[in-house]
Each structure stands twice: as C-alpha cells, then as structure tokens.
C-alpha cells in the first residue's frame, strides 16, 4: 500500500451564529463535527453526502481556506509532515502550492477579467515563475493536457462552455504540480453528457501524472466512476467509509443504502423499490440527539435516538457509525430490485 | 444579419465588451457627446465669453437676446446691431434698445478682457469680440440681466464653475468612499460595524437642513475660492456614503467569488488579491456609481446657491444665475434669463442616461 | 390511446438579437396525453426551456414564436385551440388553469417580498375568484398536498426561509393552484441533490396519478427520463431528433445522438473507475449551426457527404416513432432535394 499523504483527525469547523446589534454569539453551526480520514498517494477518496452535510466546509478546512475549530490536518510535503491546522496565513502561503482545488461552479471560479492563459499561469507567477516565455510554454502544455486548443490562450472565460471552463479550472489546479487535488463537486454543475468528459479527463490525468484526489460529490453514480474509496458524510460526520466496490455492493449504513437507492438509474421502470428519504437533512446548528440520521432512518431503535454511534471498524478496511450495522443486511446496487421491472 | 465574429468576441477585453454594449444605448451615446461638449465649453469658458461676465452697465440692462447677422451689403461680414438709448415718452425713462441702422462688426480671435487659460496662460484672445463698438454695444447672444451683464458670457463661466464643483466633489467622495468602504470590507468586525453605523447616521440626517446649517456657518468674509472649496467639501462629505456602500458591497460579494479563493489558494498575497483580482472587477461599478453621483453633486451646488447659501455673488454658477431668474416680475420683463435652467436640466439628464448606460454595460458578463 | 391534450407541430421560436437571429426552436413536434409524462431531453442550450416558454406564450424578448401550431384540446370538448395564435391577453386565460410551469430555479421565480402564501394565493384569487381567506385556505391545502410539513405555519414564510427542496415543492403547489391539466416542469430537480430529486420526482408521479395530469418533464438527465417518462423526445439544436416511448428509446435507440447520450450517463451500476463513452466536442453555438444534419460534426456514424450537406427530414418509422437521421430514412428526399 502506498504512503498516506493526508491524515485528518477529528476535524471540526463550527460557524458562530450571531444575532442582534452587538452581534452576540447565540449558537454554533457545527458544519463539520469530528471528521477523520486519510488519503493515500495516488488514490481518489470520494466524500459524498447531501448538500448541507459539510462536505465543502471540510474540503475548505483541508485547503485551509477556513481555519478549523479543532482537530488536526497532517499533510506530507517534500518528505516531512506538516500540521496545517494551526498555521497562520503567512506560514501557509509557501505550502499552498502543494494542495490545489477544482471548484464546483465553472462560472464563479474563473476571473472574467483575465484571459485563459493568464488564469492558468497566475499560480505559477505567484509562486515565482517570472520568466514569461517559460510560463507560456508551460501553460500551453497544460492546455494540451486538459484538451483545450492552444489557440484559445487569449480568450476570455465567457467564450467557453461549462465543460471547457472546468477544463481550465483543472489546468490551473495542475499548474503547480500539487500532491493533492481537492475537487469540490467538479461535475455537479455540468450537463450529464459533459460530466462524462470531465470525469474521464480526471481519470486520465490521474493515470498520467499519478495525482491524488479528494473528490467531493453528492451523486453516487458519479463517485462510482472515479473513486477508489468512499467516505459518506451526514450532518458534519462521516457515517461510513469503505472501498468503492464494497460500499456499493453491500452498504453497511442505512444512509448509504438510501443514497444508493436515490441515484437515478438509466433503466426505465427501475424505481419501484426506491427508498425515498423522508424530510430533509438535519440542521447542523441543532442536530438531533443520538444518531443524527435517526429521524429519517427506517431502522432506528431507541438506542439510536439516545446514543451517538461512533465510527468503528466493522470489517477490515470498512468503517461505519451505526448501532445496528452488524445486524442489518442492507441493499446495495446490482441487487434484484434494481433490475428492469 | 451577419454572423458574429466569435473569435473577436472571445478575445475581447472587458473594456471592449463594455464599449460594445454601451454603444447600443442610443441615449447614453448622445449624452456622452453632449457632456463632452459641455466640458469643452467649461474648459474654454473665458475664450468663448463675448464680454466680461462681471462687467456691469446700467445702459445695457435687460437687453433681449440678439442674433448674429452673417451678411451685410458687402457679402459675408458677421455683425450685430448697435444699442441706442431712447426716452420712453410715458415714463420719461431712458430705455436701451437695438438699433438696426448701426452695424457693429464681429472680430474673430480679437482681444477682450484678460483671463487665464487653464489657469496658466494669461491671454486676452476671445472667439468673438466687436470691432467698431461704442459704449454699450455687445454680442448679447442670450440677452443681458438687470445689471447689464451678458448672459451668454455668464452662463459659460457658470458652467465651468458648476461642472468642476461636481468633479472636485466626486473626486473627494470617491477617495473617501473607496478608502472607508474598502477598509470596512477588508477589516470587517468592529471597524466595519463602526463605519457602517457612521454611514447610517449620516444618511439618516435630512440633507437639506444639514447643508443649510453647514453652509450658513461659513464665514462671510471668505473669498470666492474659499467658499467654493468649502461648499465642495460640504457636498462631498455627504455623498461619499453612497460610494462607500457600493465599494463595500461589491468587495464583499467579490470576496466570496471562487476565483478570489483560487488566487488565495495559489498563495497570492493580500495586495495581489485585491489589486490584480478584485479591483478590475469593480472598477466598472465605481465608474457607474460616479456617473450617478456627479449630477447629484451638481444639483446640490445649484440648489444651495439658488437658495443663497452656496456660492455667493460675485461668484457665478448655475445656481446664482437661476437666483437672478427667481421672481415673476423679472421673468415677465426678461424671460430669457430662464435660459440658465436649460444647461442644468440637459446636463443632469445626460449624466443620468450615461450612468444608466454605463451600469448596464459595466458588467458584460452579468 | 385517447387524443392528446396538447399537440405541438413544427414549432419555431427565434430570438432577434443585435448579433443576429438565434433559431432556438426550429421545428419541434410532440404530443402530450392525459396521465402521461413526456420527457424532453437534451444538452443545455438545445432549446428545451424556450420550447416550454413558447407553449406558455412567455418567450422573453427579443424572442418570438415565428411558426407552427400549439393545439390545446379544451376540457369540455369542442375544437382544439391554437395557442400560438392567441394574443397575450387571451393566453392569460389558459396560463394557470390549463397549462402551468415549474421553473428550474425556484429562487429566481419567487418574489422575495411576499410570503409564499401570498404568492400562491395570487393566482387563485385571479382565476378562481376566491376571496383572501378562501385563497389562504386553499394555499394551505395545496402546500399540504405537495408535502410541505406544517403547511399552516409555513404558508406565512418567505421564500428565502425555505430549503431548495421545499422551495421546489412550493413552486409545484403554485403551479397546481388552478388545477391545470398540463404541467410543464423545466428541469425541476437539476439544482437539487439526488435524495431531494427522488422526493420531488416521487411527488410529481403521485400527483399525476391522483389528478391525471399531463406532464412535460424537461431535463438533461437520461436517468430522470428513465424514471419518469412514458414518452420521450430527444432534442438537439432546436429540433426533436428522435421520439418514442421510454422503453423504445432506452432499449432500441435509433438516433446516434440518443445512443451517445445514453452511453455517457454515469451510473451506480458501473464498475468502479470505468471511463464513460463520451460525445465528442460540445454543442455548437446557435449562431454557428452546422450545415446539413446539425449533429454531423459530433456524430460517430456519419454518412460522409450526405449528412454534411443535407438536412435529414423527420421520418416516421413503421412502429410509430420518429427519427431525424439518414441512417433511418429520408435519403431519397435528400437526394431529390440536392438534384433539384
Ligand atoms: N460561512 C458559513 N457560515 C455559516 N454557516 C455555514 C457557512 N458555510 C457553510 N455553513 C453551513 O454549514 C453547513 C454545511 O455546509 P457545506 O459545507 O457547504 O455543505 P455541503 O458542501 O455538503 O453542501 C450548512 O448547514 C451551511 O449552512
Ligand atoms: N433571451 C434570450 N435571448 C437570446 N437567445 C436566447 C434567449 N433565451 C434563450 N436563448 C437561446 O436559445 C437557445 C435555447 O435555449 P434554452 O431553451 O434555454 O436551452 P435549454 O433549456 O435546452 O438549456 C440557446 O442557444 C440560447 O442561447
Ligand atoms: S444508528 Fe440507528 S438511526 Fe442511525 S443509522 Fe444506524 S440504525 Fe439508523
Ligand atoms: Mg458544497
Ligand atoms: Mg433550460
């Protein structure tokens, strides 16, 4: 097994809720509340869950766009291990080049006032590559890598489609040869047909360049195509973590089961046995006691309503946070009910 | 219609895109031409003036507007008619009227009163002066006022004063607005709260009484120039709040943009983020806000002066000219004095159209 | 099958912009039946929303319906009415009580200054002549029907107080407020999570069963189509390139575009880390509509010179399906056209 490059332990990010003229703190949105996982070099770890469960917040803490409220983020860079959690802005700047991000919104993520070449070259310029000729050569290489015609160097982002913009965003993220790329829902805003192009591109780049991805998504069908392992998040916590194949075939957490069942399948009439999750994700400012999934869980018992289940190893390589994980036998995909009616 | 040239569009800079969009606004285009003309007029005000705008003469009181005649018996020979005094047989008062029998010829680039061009070059050359003038003769394009001063000459000089007050005022409020709005947005927290509260307090004050109060507090013995600057500062002290809000709002919105986060995550310094990534995005909004603040400034000065609380004679501004046209009797006697209202209306409207056009065109991606 | 409620033929809508004419919808045909869902699918920019707006007579300026017919069969029988010929004033009678629209982005289609109760009640008062109290009562019933919890309390909320899923439910309640017979849902779940999407689709299905609604469901997601549609119309660059029942489209797609779309869907059934087949390139800008078959630059099964020069006509195949592709006929007509 290859080495671990990122080790997140008990990561917390609470946003204070302020009210009134004096802006007193009246509560905390516990957007991320004790998340732990690690990422190995060269793999793709997917972080999935409904919107509002804290995926973006967790990703931004790791990127240190946010200062975490608690926990540790150990990152291997150039052979040594750095604790990112407590670093100041100034201390972070030289480290930033090693973790780069691909954004969800292909529109907001590119500066409309800069041409494509400058957008992709900007990180290199910031990090001291001041030779314009060399920079341009590298930008063109990157454009080729993400399959954008070099001739588009001087175009502005408004002239590109969503899919092409996402390629620009990926080229920018690659420009500094980062050891980890955090992609926050990189295909959620795209048409299904364009999603496939971007997913393939990300897979190809990973094979060519040995990239490591933290891939955030809310759609398990997308995750299935890119990830090696999957962490399922619910209200600020990870509820299940497993190898992709195992998780899809035999989920251990009822929430994973429901997410799998909600993913649309391109087979007419396959919905008959869908588990439709009732209501909405719990409010992270005021999560329910016990297992935060219990109000929507069809297997919930009394203990679920009172005791918070810990994330534990259920089987080698599989973690799950559910009191009933051992006794339940949940439906994955490929099971009979998903075959055409 | 022809296909659009998509390559041209794709590599167009923000300025080009804005311009292309702006061009489609007919009214804004007309307005910008008009405003340019007005500012040219302001720059060359003294050159264009036909007589000394301060010179009074009882003989030429309330002379009606007078056209220029281009031809005489000898062909092209621009001239105006002379002025003659006549006793009114009922009131036995001497009235001065136009005397078509006497031609006074126009001298182009002739010499008149002395003035400073751009405040540097002392000269006495004017576009039009008179050659064989007798006392009282003049080119009264827009007529004269009670004191016999030429309205056209006064109007061009007033235009200079009123338009520059707007510019100076906007510059001051832009400086304050960008500085305080920027500080408010960058530092946030307590600083932001304080600045925002101050803005709210200022904005909640009724402006007219406040101006009146401040303007009335100006010492009587101040020179025209001092009063001019004092008034500009009073006006802009109140106007910067709008700009500060635009800057702060736009800044905060941009801070949330993902491309700004991308720059930060690439390791960019705070200064680079602001100047390279954020400023270009809201420069256009500031320009639009400025073009809407300008007419407000001009109106403020005009109203203050009109009420006798802004600039005071012998200064000349639109407000002061309108002050002369204040009462009904004067207007019955000399309706042409109302002409001073036209540039005010035209300039204010033009600025508003221009502002609308700019605001629409400013965000070519929006 | 009974007669269609709504029958659209050769619909054409164009935008007359300063840069030129955009043929956003360029000859679309479809039929919608009571109790059935027509799925309209295609990539962004292919004209789905403009089609929906044309049917409702709410195309944004500088756009205009320039051709075709939109025949609505009236509730009480009688001859069909061509909505394309109605004035805006006349159209208002049909918008709401006959045909209603659910938008993709519910936030943008609500006013932020009125409670949701006010906004639902608006249409009810207008079309049903109810007073304030009765309208509010009906609003609460509607919210209840679309599964908004504690409807009686929520009716006084403002749109920004609701989550995305709830907003979409309220949007549906608003659309249903005047008991329309045709509901057009324009990407109702594109902005939502898969879980919320499942809830909303479930709701639409059960409403259809209760009320016999005819639904036009617009989406770019074949997965949603598979789940919801009875009939499918696949659009490309302003045209329907293939129509058929959902089973036919998924089991035996004919148009190369349909096939490519189907292949490119990510699915939970896939093997982990498998690459998806993709459609080459991207949808062209509407100004640069390719000559011949507008799909030919991206088509994997292109028939050389023919597809590049001639436009494939809509061919009705024996089994009642329609395809616009030379692989499935129309070649004779094209040759005749070239020869002529
Ligand atoms: N800057 C913030 N201030 C306050 N609350 C926030 C902030 N960012 C996110 N949240 C809250 O944290 C929760 C998790 O949000 P997010 O991480 O964006 O979720 P996801 O990416 O999974 O959709 C949400 O309830 C959201 O409202
Ligand atoms: N208001 C408008 N002005 C000009 N063109 C428009 C306008 N609305 C839509 N279009 C054009 O019509 C085409 C179809 O758009 P639309 O129906 O919104 O696509 P879809 O809903 O399938 O994504 C697009 O090419 C778009 O550029
Ligand atoms: S702990 Fe209980 S409520 Fe939570 S997921 Fe497991 S069974 Fe459901
Ligand atoms: Mg997110
Ligand atoms: Mg659309």
Among candidate residues C225, C204, C223, C224, the one with its CA nearest the CA of residue C215: C204
Q: A248: nearest CA in chain C?
A: C268
* pLDDT beyond 60 at B5: no
* Cα angle for residues C8, C12, C17 (degrees, 5° grid): 150
For A60-76, the pLDDT digits (tens) are: 999 999 999 999 999 99
A231 in helix, strand or coil?
Answer: strand
Give the pLDDT of residue C253: 93
Residue in chain C closest to B5 (alpha carbons) equals: C19
State the nearest Cα–Cα gap between C257 and chain A, in angstroms. Answer: 11
**Among A111-115, B102-106, B266-270, C314-318, which is the least confidently predicted range?**
B102-106
B259/A152 touch (CB, cutoff 8 Å), yes or no = no
pLDDT of residue A135: 94
- To test the contact with chain B by mutation, choose from C16, C62, C286, C287 the residue with the greatest count of B C-beta atoms within 10 A, namely C287
Q: Is the ipTM of this complex over 0.90?
A: no
**CB of A312 shorter than 6 A to ligand 1:** no
- What's the pLDDT band for B94 if we cut at 50, 70, 90? low
List the subunits that have 3+ CB pairs under 8 angstroms with A: B, C
Question: What pLDDT is attached to residue B120?
Answer: 74
Residues with CB under 5 A from ligand 4 (ion): A 56
What does the alpha-carbon distance between residue A304 and residue A294 come to, in Å, rounded to a whole number? 6
pLDDT band at C60 (very low <50, low <70, confident <90, very high): confident
What's the pLDDT tens digit per position in A252-289? Answer: 999 999 999 888 888 887 766 777 787 778 888 889 99
Residue A1: the pLDDT is 59
Q: Which residues line ligand 3 (CB under 6 A)?
A: A 253-254, 291, 293-294, 297, 299-300, 304, 309, 322-324
Using the predicted structure, report yes or no on whether residue C340 has a pLDDT greater than 60: no
| Distance (Å) from CA C93 to ligand 5 centroid | 25
What is the Å distance from ligand 1's center to A17 Cα? 12
Residue B111 forms beta bridges with which residues?
A: B125
Q: In what order do the strands lie in the sheet with B69-72?
A: B69-72, B75-87, B94-108, B128-130
Predicted TM-score (pTM) of the model is 0.82
Q: What is the C44 CA–ligand 2 centroid distance (Å)?
A: 9
Mean pLDDT of the B113-142 span: 76
Residues 113-132 of C with CB under 8 A from A: none
Choice among A225-234, B71-80, C23-32 with the minimum mean pLDDT: B71-80
Query: Given a cut of 90, is residue C3 above it in pLDDT?
Result: no
Q: Which ligand ends up closest to the CA of A48?
A: 1
Whether residue C9 has pLDDT greater than 50 = yes
Nearest to B259 among A100, A111, A176 (CB): A111
Work out the average pLDDT over A82-97.
92
Contact C8, C272 (CB under 8 A): no
Which residues on neighbouring strands pair with residue A9, listed in sequence order? A72
Give the full edge-to-edge strand order of the sheet including A312-315.
A99-102, A180-184, A213-217, A44-48, A229-234, A237-243, A318-320, A312-315
Distance A57 CA to ligand 4 centre (A): 7
Mean pLDDT of A81-99: 93
Instruction: Tell me which of C41, C45, C289 to substitute to probe ligand 2's pocket, judged by most ligand atoms within 8 Å of the beta carbon.
Output: C45
Q: Do C223 and A199 touch (CB under 8 A)?
A: no
| φ, ψ of residue B54 in degrees (nearest 5) | -95, -15
Q: What are the start-end ranges of the E strands in chain B?
A: 69-72, 75-87, 94-108, 111-117, 121-125, 128-130
Q: Exposed/middle/buried for B272, CB within 10 Å: 0-12, 13-18, 19+? A: middle
Assess C264–A contact: CB distance below 8 Å, yes or no: yes
- Within C177-318, residue ranges assigned H as helices are 194-211, 222-228, 246-251, 256-263, 304-309
The pLDDT of residue C36: 95
pLDDT score at B7: 63
**Of B156, B154, B150, nearest in space to B83 by CA:** B150
Q: Which of B110-124, C2-16, C18-32, C207-221 has the weakest average pLDDT?
A: B110-124
Would an 8 Å CB–CB cutoff place C278 in contact with chain A?
Answer: yes
| Position with higher pLDDT, C106 vs C37 | C37
Smallest Cα–Cα separation from C217: which of C177, C248, C246, C253? C246
User: Which among A65-74, B8-17, B172-181 has the top mean pLDDT?
Assistant: A65-74
- H/E stretch holding C332 reads helix C331-339
Is residue B2 over pLDDT 50?
A: no
What atom in ligand 1 is closest to the CA of residue A184? 21
Q: Is the CB of residue A220 less than 8 Å from the CB of residue C268?
A: yes
Which DSSP letter does residue B276 get? I
Residue-wise pLDDT tens digits, A5-15: 999 999 999 99
Rounded Cα distance between A103 and A184, Å, is 5
**DSSP state letter for C160:** G
pLDDT of residue A341: 30
Nearest to A254 by CA among A337, A326, A175, A313: A326
pLDDT for residue B344: 85
Residue C122 has pLDDT above 80, yes or no: yes
Q: How far is CA A36 from CA A6, A224, A231, C137, in A?
A: 10, 22, 10, 49
Give the tokens for residue A327: 């006794």
Which chains pack against C, by 3+ Cβ pairs within 8 A? A, B
Inter-chain contact A225–C274, Cβ cutoff 8 Å?
yes
Query: What chains are in contact with B, requiring at least 3 Cβ pairs below 8 Å?
Result: A, C
- Determine the residue of chain C that is closest to B9 in CA distance: C19
Which atom belonging to ligand 1 lies closest to the Cα atom of A283?
Answer: 25
Check residue C168 and report its DSSP letter: H
For the stretch C136-172, pLDDT in tens is 999 999 998 888 888 888 899 988 888 888 888 898 9
Which range has the worst mean pLDDT, B93-107, B186-200, B256-270, C263-277?
B93-107
């Amino acid at each position: 097994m290859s080495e671990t490059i990122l080790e997140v332990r008990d990561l917390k990010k609470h946003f204070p809720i302020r009210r009134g003229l004096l802006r007193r703190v009246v509560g905390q949105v516990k957007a991320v509340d004790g998340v732990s996982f690690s990422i190995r070099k060269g793999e793709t770890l997917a972080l999935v869950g409904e919107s509002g469960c804290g995926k973006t917040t967790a990703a931004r803490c790791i990127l240190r766009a946010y200062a975490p409220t608690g926990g540790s983020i150990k990152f291997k860079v150039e052979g040594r291990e750095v604790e990112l959690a407590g670093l100041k802005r100034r201390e972070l700047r030289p480290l930033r080049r090693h973790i780069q991000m691909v954004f969800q919104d292909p529109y907001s993520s590119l500066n409309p006032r800069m041409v494509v070449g400058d957008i992709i070259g900007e990180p290199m310029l910031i990090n001291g590559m001041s030779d314009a000729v060399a920079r341009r050569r590298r930008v063109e290489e990157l454009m080729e890598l993400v399959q954008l015609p070099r001739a588009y160097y001087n175009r502005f982002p408004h002239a590109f489609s969503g899919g092409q913009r996402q390629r620009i965003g990926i080229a920018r993220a690659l420009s500094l040869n980062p050891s980890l790329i955090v992609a926050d829902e990189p295909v959620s805003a795209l048409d299904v047909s364009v999603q496939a192009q971007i997913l393939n591109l990300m897979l190809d780049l990973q094979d060519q360049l040995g990239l490591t991805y933290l891939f955030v998504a809310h759609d398990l069908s997308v995750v299935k195509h890119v990830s090696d392992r999957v962490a399922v998040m619910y209200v600020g916590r990870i509820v299940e973590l497993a190898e992709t194949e195992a998780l899809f075939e035999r989920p251990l957490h009822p929430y994973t089961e429901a997410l799998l069942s909600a993913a649309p399948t391109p087979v007419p009439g396959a919905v008959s046995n869908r588990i439709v999750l009732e209501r909405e994700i719990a409010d992270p400012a005021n999560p329910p006691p016990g297992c935060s999934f219990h109000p929507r869980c069809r297997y919930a018992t009394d203990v679920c309503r009172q005791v918070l289940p810990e994330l534990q190893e259920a089987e080698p390589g599989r973690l799950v946070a559910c009191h009933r994980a051992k006794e339940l036998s949940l439906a994955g995909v490929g099971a009979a009910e998903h075959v055409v009616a | 219609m022809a296909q659009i040239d998509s390559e041209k569009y794709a590599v167009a800079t923000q300025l080009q895109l804005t311009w292309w969009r702006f061009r489609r606004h007919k009214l804004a285009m007309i307005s910008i031409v008009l405003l340019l003309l007005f500012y040219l007029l302001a720059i060359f005000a003294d050159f264009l003036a036909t007589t000394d705008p301060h010179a009074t003469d009882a003989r030429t009181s309330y002379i009606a507007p007078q056209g220029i005649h281009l031809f005489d018996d000898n062909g092209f020979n621009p001239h105006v008619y002379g002025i003659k005094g006549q006793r009114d047989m009922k009131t036995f008062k001497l009235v001065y009227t136009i005397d078509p029998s006497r031609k006074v010829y126009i001298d182009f680039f002739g010499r008149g009163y002395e003035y400073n061009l751009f405040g540097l070059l002392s000269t006495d050359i004017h576009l039009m002066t008179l050659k064989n003038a007798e006392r009282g003769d003049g080119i009264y394009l827009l007529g004269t006022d009670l004191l016999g001063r030429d309205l056209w000459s006064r109007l061009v000089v007033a235009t200079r004063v009123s338009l520059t007050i707007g510019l100076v005022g906007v510059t001051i409020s832009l400086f304050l607005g960008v500085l305080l709005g920027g500080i408010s947005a960058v530092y946030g927290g307590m600083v932001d709260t304080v600045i925002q509260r101050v803005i709210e307090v200022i904005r909640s004050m009724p402006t007219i009484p406040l101006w009146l109060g401040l303007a009335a507090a100006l010492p009587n013995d101040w020179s025209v120039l001092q009063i001019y600057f004092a008034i500009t500062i009073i006006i802009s002290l109140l106007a910067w709040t709008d700009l500060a809000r635009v800057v702060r709002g736009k800044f905060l919105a941009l801070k949330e943009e993902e491309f700004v986060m991308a720059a930060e995550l690439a390791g960019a310094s705070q200064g680079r983020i602001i100047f390279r990534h954020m400023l270009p995005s809201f420069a256009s909004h500031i320009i639009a806000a400025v073009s809407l603040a300008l007419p407000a400034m001009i109106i403020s000065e005009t109203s203050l002066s009109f009420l006798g609380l802004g600039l005071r004679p012998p200064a000349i501004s639109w407000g002061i000219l309108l002050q002369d046209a204040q009462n009904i009797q004067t207007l019955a006697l000399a309706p042409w004095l109302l002409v001073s209202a036209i540039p005010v209306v035209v300039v204010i409207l033009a600025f508003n159209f221009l502002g609308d056009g700019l605001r629409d065109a400013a965000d070519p991606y929006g | 099958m009974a007669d269609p409620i709504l029958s659209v033929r050769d619909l054409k809508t164009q935008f007359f912009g300063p840069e030129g004419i955009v043929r956003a919808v360029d000859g679309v045909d479809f039929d919608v039946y009571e109790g059935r869902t027509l799925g309209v699918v295609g990539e962004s920019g292919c004209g789905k929303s403009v089609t929906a707006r044309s049917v409702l007579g709410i195309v944004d300026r500088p756009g205009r319906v320039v051709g075709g017919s939109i025949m609505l069969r009236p509730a009480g029988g009688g001859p069909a009415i061509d909505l394309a010929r109605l004035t805006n004033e006349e159209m208002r009678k049909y918008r709401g009580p006959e045909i209603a629209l659910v938008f993709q982005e519910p936030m943008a289609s609500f006013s932020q200054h009125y409670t949701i109760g006010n906004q639902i009640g608006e249409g009810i008062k207008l079309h049903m002549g109810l007073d304030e109290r009765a309208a509010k009562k009906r609003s609460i019933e509607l919210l209840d029907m679309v599964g908004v919890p504690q409807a009686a309390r929520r009716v006084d909320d403002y749109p920004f107080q609701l989550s995305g899923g709830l907003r979409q439910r309220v949007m549906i309640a608003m659309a249903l407020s005047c008991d329309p017979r045709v509901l057009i849902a324009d990407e109702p779940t594109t902005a939502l999570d898969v879980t919320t999407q499942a809830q909303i689709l479930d709701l639409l299905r059960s409403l259809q069963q209760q009320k016999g609604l005819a639904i036009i469901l617009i989406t770019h997601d074949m997965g949603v189509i598979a789940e919801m549609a009875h009939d499918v119309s696949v659009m490309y660059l302003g045209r329907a390139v293939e129509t058929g029942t959902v089973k036919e489209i998924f089991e035996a797609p004919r148009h190369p575009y349909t096939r490519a779309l189907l292949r490119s869907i990510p699915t939970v059934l896939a093997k982990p880390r498998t690459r998806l087949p993709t459609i080459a390139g991207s949808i062209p800008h509407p100004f640069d509509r390719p000559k011949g078959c507008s799909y030919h630059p991206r088509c994997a099964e292109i028939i050389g010179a023919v597809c590049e020069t001639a436009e494939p006509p809509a061919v009705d195949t024996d089994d009642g399906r329609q395809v616009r592709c030379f692989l499935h006929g129309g070649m004779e007509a094209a040759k005749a056209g070239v020869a002529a």
